Amino acid sequence: MGSFIEGFKKGYNNQYGDDSTVDELDYKIEKAKRELEDKKVNHILHLLFSILTMGFWVIVWVLIALSVSSERSALEAKIKMFSEAKSKKLHVQSSYTEPTKTTSISEEDKRELKSLLELKDAGVITNDEFEARKSTILSK
């Protein structure tokens, strides 16, 4: 049973990656819950068939019950994974902050950065020297 769940998780990760929105995840959760409600065995009906067939129907009854049980387990795992994905999405959305505004660079600083870049491209200064001077200019 564990390998089935692991296989399902791999399929879920491939099919339902992080591209689903919260609304889509809500829809998928509700759909899986409805499917779960529909996956029930009518034990009364199977008991009547077993009595009418003098017990031969018990074999079919057991096979159906096992099949429905594994389908229900898969749906429960699906609901759990969708719920976890939804909570992660909500956490990411709630922790999002607007990026801070950057200050504008003066024309003089732009010219100086351009000349530094030309010096670096020409091989006059190293990349480390360029980065150090650039950070100095940008930190003004």
7-11, 103-107, 123-127 — which is least confidently predicted? 7-11
Half-sphere exposure of 118 (CA within 13 A, CB side): 6
Burial class (CB within 10 angstroms; exposed 0-12, middle 13-18, buried 19+) of 20 = middle
Mean pLDDT of 48-56: 93
CB atoms within 10 A of CB 26: 14
What span, in angstroms and rounded, lies between the C-alpha atoms of 66 and 58? 12
Confidence of residue 71 (pLDDT cuts 50, 70, 90): very high
Note the pLDDT of residue 14.
44
What span, in angstroms and rounded, lies between the C-alpha atoms of 71 and 77? 10
pLDDT score of 5 more than 70: no
What span, in angstroms and rounded, lies between the C-alpha atoms of 23 and 25? 5
What span, in angstroms and rounded, lies between the C-alpha atoms of 122 and 116? 10
| Domain-wise residue ranges, the chain | 2-94, 107-138
Note the pLDDT of residue 23.
87
What span, in angstroms and rounded, lies between the C-alpha atoms of 58 and 6? 31
